[in-house]
């Protein structure tokens, strides 16, 4: 599900089962990530699929990338692997108005 930054953050902050995922490359993450995010590189192919498959399906995942394209695809893959609640950040980190670390 695609969410605006405002909805993504407000939902994340009130969600007791929330996990934030950054699906960018390691080089991109070195330039800064949203605090608390776990990095699982979308471009790692089967390694990415295996990491997603190993996630707790009872959690809710808030996913972002650079622009929102990879994270949208990642959310689709997560849904296919049985993770029902995957929320894509529209616009990605390039349109992010919050802090990065």
Q: Is the dihedral of CA 44, 39, 60, 73 positive or negative?
A: negative
- At 17 the pLDDT is 98
Fold (CATH) for 2-82: Oxidized Rhodanese; domain 1 (3.40.250)
Per-residue model confidence (pLDDT) at position 74: 98
Residues 38, 29 contacting (CB under 8 angstroms):
no
What's this model's pTM, rounded to 2 decimal places? Answer: 0.97
Band of residue 83 on the pLDDT scale cut at 50, 70, 90: very high
pLDDT tens-place string over residues 68-79: 999 999 999 999
DSSP 6: H
Q: Can you say how many angstroms the Cα of residue 24 is from the centroid of all Cα atoms in its chain? A: 9
Q: Is 65 a residue of the active site?
A: yes
Question: Using CA atoms, how far apart are residues 66 and 99, in angstroms rounded to an integer?
Answer: 15
Residue 26: per-residue pLDDT: 96
The pLDDT assigned to 21 comes to 98
Of the residues 23, 65, 75, 93, only one is catalytic, namely 65
Burial (CB < 10 A; 0-12, 13-18, 19+), residue 2, is middle
CA distance 84 to 81: 9
Residue pLDDT, tens place only, 10-40: 999 999 999 999 999 999 999 999 999 999 9
Looking at residue 82, its pLDDT comes to: 97
pLDDT tens digit string along 43-69?
Answer: 999 999 999 999 999 999 999 999 999
């Amino acid at each position: 599900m695609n969410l605006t930054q405002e909805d993504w953050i407000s939902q994340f902050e009130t969600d007791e089962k929330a996990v934030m995922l950054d699906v960018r490359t390691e080089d991109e993450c070195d330039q800064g990530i949203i605090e608390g995010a776990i990095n699982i590189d979308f471009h790692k192919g089967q390694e990415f699929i295996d990491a997603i498959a190993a996630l707790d399906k009872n959690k809710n995942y808030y996913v972002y990338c650079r622009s929102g394209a990879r994270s949208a695809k990642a959310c689709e893959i997560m849904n296919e692997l049985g993770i029902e609640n995957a929320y894509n950040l529209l616009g990605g980190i390039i349109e992010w108005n919050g802090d990065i670390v």
